[in-house]
Amino acid sequence: MDVAVTGSHGLVGSALVPALAPAGHRAVRVVRGTSTGPDEVGWDPEAESIDAAALDGVGAVVHLAGAGIGDKRWTPERKRLILESRTKGTDLLARTLAGLAHKPAVLISASGVDYYGPHGDEELAEESPHGTGFLADVCKRWEDATRPAEDAGVRLALIRTGPVLAAAGGLLGRLLLPFRLGLGGRVGTGEQYMSWIALDDHIAAIIHHLADDESAGVYNHTAPNPVTNREFTETLGRVVHRPTRIPTPLLPLKLRYGSELVDELLLTGQRVLPERLVGAGYRFGLPTLEEALRAAVDRH
């Protein structure tokens, strides 16, 4: 079937698009501005504009678009952009799908494990409550914006995703160089949990949702073995054959990115388990951190 993909040029989208054809699907990129061919759909969330006619009849939509949360200081303007790039685009997309004569069978919409807020070492599953903090609020409002599509009868799968591990970008992409230089170290106490997922598993799980007609509701896209920051640091050091004895200094990070970003993204975390994904029959190809890191680094 035809699968429309927003955020198709990001880390996840750029891996998802070529993976759709082997699974029997045709990718249709939802791109900003005007489409340039039959495999594209134009949209402009800021202007509340989208080519609805080009979406009419697509079999599924995978919605991944949103501004990066960890690459710039959280000024008031940046926080507005992080929120509105998710809520405005999602609301526009959901309302558009709800009004189509030929609606897609499913909308798979991204969210994040930050939905749960900081919870120490408590194990969290899909039914765990909404937490506190800026990112928890962003995730809640992001998910709420999908409601028009679900109310119109479109099957909805919300994928709360942890850090996606790939050497080409994201968290691991930023860490590889300093770790290879021997500058990697735990952040803070190192006891905060990281609920990661390998890029290959994230893509395979999305394709699983496309194929499974019973796949609806919230799914944690995290590996079944979350780790502390200390464990992550030691494992990555072992994979790249470098020491990780010196903790990462926090002051330069706070000076560059601000205390709020560092506190929410680096010094607190969530121990999230993919209970519903496992229960739906998905089998992880890279369930442990070391094999996921080795696969990513070897590919790079």
Q: What is the pLDDT along the chain (300 residues), one digit of tens a residue?
A: 999 999 999 999 999 999 999 999 999 999 998 888 889 999 999 999 999 999 999 999 999 999 999 989 999 999 999 999 999 999 999 999 999 999 999 999 999 999 999 999 999 999 999 999 999 999 999 999 999 999 999 999 999 999 999 999 999 999 999 999 999 999 999 999 999 999 999 999 999 999 999 999 999 999 999 999 999 999 999 999 999 999 999 999 999 999 999 999 999 999 999 999 999 999 999 999 999 999 999 987
Q: Is 54 exposed, middle or buried (0-12, 13-18, 19+ CB in 10 A)?
A: middle
Do 257 and 106 meet the contact criterion of CB atoms below 8 Å apart? no
CB 55 within 8 A of CB 100: yes
Name the pairing type of β-strands 217-221 and 155-161. parallel
Are the C-beta atoms of residues 138 and 80 closer than 8 Å to each other? Answer: no
The Cα–Cα gap between 255 and 29 comes to 38
Rounded to whole angstroms, the Cα distance separating 235 from 227 reads 10
Q: For the whole prediction, is pTM greater than 0.85? A: yes
Burial 86-107 (b: 16+ CB within 10 A, else e): bbebbbbbbbbbbebeebbebb
Q: How is residue 280 written in tokens?
A: 């739906």
Closest CA to 121 of 275, 270, 223: 270
Amino acid identity for residue 48 in this structure: E
Compute the radius of gyration of the chain from its Cα atoms: 19
CA distance 240 to 237: 5
Domains, in order of start, for the chain: 2-165+195-226+273-287 (3.40.50.720)
Name 74's Cβ contacts closer than 8 Å, sequence gap at least 6. Answer: 82, 134, 257, 258, 260, 261
Q: Please give the DSSP secondary-structure letter assigned to residue 128.
A: S
